[in-house]
Chains A and B, each alone.
Chain A
Amino acid sequence: MIKDITLGQYYQTDSIIHRLDPRVKLVATVFFIISLFVVRGFTGFILAGLFLVFAIKLSKVPFKFMVRGMKAIIFLLLFAVVFNLFLTPGEPAVSFWKITITWEGIRLALTLTTRLIMLIMGSSVMTLTTTPNNLTDGMEKLMKPLGYIKVPVHEVVMMMSIALRFIPILFKETDKIMKAQIARGADFESGNLIKKAKSLVPLLVPLFISAFRRANDLAMAMEARCYRGGDHRTKMKPLVYKTRDRFAYLGMLIYLIITIFADRMIPL
């Protein structure tokens, strides 16, 4: 189950998209998502789809890797389709027994699924081609203006990147504690909801204690290495825009203009 979630995973290869500045990818993803919600007709969706396919091709990430990410949201998609298909009032297209499917419903269901699929895929292109570290660096740089209104940007981003570093360690730990308790006869699977919730105590208590111990150790190790927040700090890998990043911004802007205009001018 956890393996199916491609969102947040990094796919290692060398491509132009991989080499782009993370800020470009973040901004582009936001603009792409905006474009998905601004367009109404199929012209827009076709253009957005073409753009997405183009980006995926450039990223050299296998297409099936992207599709695998869809498995995680398939229920959400089905749910949305069923609701829109059967519950949208309007001109009936098919009607049997007490159920009526309307043209508006079909249209809405189609728009919604297209939007969701493209949204997930678009964000996957970003996360699959950017290391988590690079991503947090980009976010720190982009959100810097928020520092002027006293948002602790550096601290928030540092917390995110530490969390990312410790997720695999805590997963391993959960697995180990679970096995240790199963070896003592614990049962995490059977019983009703209340019994199941209660059975989690022997797992959660040790897990929390361990997480706190790790946090304590880590804080000490960071202090010992002269960490004192974002001021005075230099960067080992500072973000610098290159020519390709400027072109990427330009390309993104052109895409946005063309898609929105075409969507309004040539309705399908």
Chain B
Amino acid sequence: MNIIKTQKLTFEYIRRDDEGNVEGITKAVDEVDIEVEAGEFIAILGHNGSGKSTLAKHLNAILYPTEGSVYIDGKDTSEDGNIWEIRQIAGMVFQNPDNQIIGQVVEEDVGFGPENMGVPTAEIWERVSESLRAVGMYEHRKKSPDRLSGGQKQRVSIAGVLAMHPKCIVLDEPTAMLDPSGRKEVVRAVRALNDVENITIIFITHYMEEIIHADRVFVMDEGKIAMTGTPREIFSRVDELKGLRLDVPQITLLAHELKKNGIKDLPSAIFTVDELLCALKIN
């Protein structure tokens, strides 16, 4: 069974002018059909305003489809009775690290989710320790979140979701406000969860370097899924990506340029320096 399945998912909101009169209707998500299998690492790309955040919020039952439906682990998000189960199955990490940490001590924040679920005290402690270890933040458990770096705060947020024992974690631009080392920390932690714990990951970003390890990539534009495929397939379509206001990693772009200008036998998408050296046959 698919862990995530959407059928013609559409989300509209009504734009109003200053007096509250209806100006028009914007389709933030437009008839999106996606299916994700358990254990997959999915990356969603798209420029700001492409609808990727709105889509993400449907997977955690924070938003409900105007039309169409969303099934998480076989459960329809539009049914009221399913909300709490869905929010536990599909955890969510947001962009701003400061605005999602509730506790004043790291470990208390991680315990917040299990507390809400009514998990017995002794088990909360077990879950908190496990989760903090999984993201490498165990030694910081007694600290105040204000004393952590951005990357560390995001890892605490991930631990907070992990403590709820989700099957799937949706990360909505978790690296957008971080510096390069913070971004690496978060990506590493997320990949480990996918590899070790086999948790399904939906990773939303516009940093191209962060998605090269994904199993599949969805590219969104104007509320629709514009491209799907493996990272290599996606990145081989350089010109299409540029048209969608997106970039490719510079090294991939260089290989693409070299190919266009005479070096015909290069493979279509290259991600690392070694791959390039290999492909240019200068080893």
Q: In the complex, A touching B, CB below 8 Å?
A: yes
Q: How far is the CA of A106 from the CA of B84 in the complex (A)?
A: 65
Query: A230-268 toward B: CB 8 Å interface, digit per residue (1/0)?
Result: 001111111000000000000000000000000000000
Contact of B96 among A131, A165, A217 (CB under 8 A): A217
A237 and B108 contacting across the interface, CB-CB below 8 Å: yes
A218 within 8 A of B: yes
B118 and A228 contacting across the interface, CB-CB below 8 Å: no
B104 within 8 A of A: yes
A222 within 8 A of B: yes
- Whether A165 contacts B104 in the complex (CB less than 8 A), given A226-B84, A228-B84, A234-B118, comes out as yes
Q: How far is the CA of A233 from the CA of B164 in the complex (A)?
A: 14
A237 proximity list for chain B (CB < 8 A): 108, 111, 121
A221 proximity list for chain B (CB < 8 A): 92, 94, 99-100, 102
A133 within 8 A of B: yes
A234 proximity list for chain B (CB < 8 A): 114-115, 118-121, 124
B160 within 8 A of A: yes
B87 proximity list for chain A (CB < 8 A): 223-226
A205 within 8 A of B: no
Identify the closest chain B residue to A164 (Cβ): B104
A57 within 8 A of B: no
CB distance from B162 to the nearest CB of A (A): 11
A214 proximity list for chain B (CB < 8 A): 96, 98-99
Identify the closest chain A residue to B127 (Cβ): A236
Q: How far is the CA of A225 from the CA of B101 in the complex (A)?
A: 11
B121 and A169 contacting across the interface, CB-CB below 8 Å: no
- Whether A225 contacts B104 in the complex (CB less than 8 A), given A232-B116, A238-B121, comes out as no
Q: How far is the CA of A233 from the CA of B115 in the complex (A)?
A: 5
A224 and B91 contacting across the interface, CB-CB below 8 Å: yes
B46 within 8 A of A: no
CB distance from B129 to the nearest CB of A (A): 11
Q: How far is the CA of A221 from the CA of B100 in the complex (A)?
A: 5
Q: How far is the CA of A58 from the CA of B91 in the complex (A)?
A: 45
Interface size band for B: 35 or more
- Whether A226 contacts B104 in the complex (CB less than 8 A), given A218-B99, A234-B115, A236-B115, comes out as no
A93 within 8 A of B: no
A218 and B128 contacting across the interface, CB-CB below 8 Å: no
Q: How far is the CA of A238 from the CA of B146 in the complex (A)?
A: 24
A220 within 8 A of B: yes
A204 proximity list for chain B (CB < 8 A): none
A162 within 8 A of B: yes
CB distance from A187 to the nearest CB of B (A): 29
Residues of B79-114 contacting chain A, CB below 8 A: 84, 87-88, 91-92, 94, 96, 98-105, 107-108, 111-114
Interface size band for A: 20 to 34
CB distance from B174 to the nearest CB of A (A): 12
A222 and B164 contacting across the interface, CB-CB below 8 Å: no
A208 within 8 A of B: no
B161 proximity list for chain A (CB < 8 A): 225
Identify the closest chain B residue to A169 (Cβ): B98
Contact of A169 among B57, B100, B120, B146 (CB under 8 A): B146
B164 proximity list for chain A (CB < 8 A): 225-226
B96 and A223 contacting across the interface, CB-CB below 8 Å: no
A227 proximity list for chain B (CB < 8 A): 112, 116
A226 and B108 contacting across the interface, CB-CB below 8 Å: no
Q: How far is the CA of A235 from the CA of B103 in the complex (A)?
A: 13
B121 proximity list for chain A (CB < 8 A): 234-238
CB distance from A139 to the nearest CB of B (A): 15
- Whether A131 contacts B104 in the complex (CB less than 8 A), given A217-B99, A226-B88, A236-B125, comes out as yes
A132 within 8 A of B: yes
A220 proximity list for chain B (CB < 8 A): 57, 62, 94
A161 within 8 A of B: yes
A217 and B116 contacting across the interface, CB-CB below 8 Å: no
B131 within 8 A of A: no
B112 proximity list for chain A (CB < 8 A): 222, 225, 227
B118 proximity list for chain A (CB < 8 A): 232-234
Identify the closest chain A residue to B110 (Cβ): A236
Given A221-B94, A236-B115, 12 further pairs, Cβ under 8 A? A133-B103, A169-B98, A217-B100, A218-B100, A220-B62, A225-B116, A225-B160, A226-B113, A226-B116, A233-B115, A234-B119, A234-B120
> Nearest 9 CB-CB pairs, A to B?
A236-B111, A217-B99, A221-B100, A224-B92, A226-B116, A225-B113, A236-B124, A232-B118, A227-B116
Seen from chain A, the residues whose Cβ lies within 8 Å of a Cβ on chain B are 131-133, 161-162, 164-165, 168-169, 213-214, 217-218, 220-228, 232-238
Give 12 A-B contacts (CB < 8 Å), ordered by A residue. A213-B99, A217-B94, A224-B87, A225-B102, A225-B161, A225-B164, A226-B164, A233-B115, A236-B107, A236-B114, A237-B108, A238-B121
